Amino acid sequence: MNRVIRREGNISKVIGWMLVVMAIIAFITVILLAIFAEPVLLIFLFGPVILLIGAWVNFHLGARARLEITPEEFIWCGFTGRPRRIAWRELDLILIPAPGSRYRLAAAARLRDGRIVEIDSLWLSPTNPANMLTPPDHTEAQRALIDGHKAYLASMPAQAQFPKR
> For 41-86, what is each residue's pLDDT tens digit?
888 888 899 888 888 777 766 666 678 888 899 988 866 667 889 9
In the chain, % of residues over pLDDT 90: 25
Whole-angstrom Cα distance, residue 127 to residue 137? 16
Whole-angstrom Cα distance, residue 121 to residue 29? 41
**3-state DSSP call for residue 75?**
strand
pTM of the shown model: 0.62
Q: Is the pLDDT of residue 108 over 90?
A: yes
> For 13-25, what is each residue's pLDDT tens digit?
777 788 889 999 9
Q: Kindly tell me the burial class for residue 158, based on how many C-beta atoms sit within 10 Å of its own C-beta (0-12, 13-18, 19 or more).
A: exposed
CA distances to 8, 16, 58, 73, 139 from 129, in Å: 12, 18, 17, 32, 19
Which pLDDT belongs to residue 68?
84
Q: Is the pLDDT of residue 94 over 80?
A: yes
Give every CB contact of residue 56 below 8 A, 6+ residues apart in sequence.
16
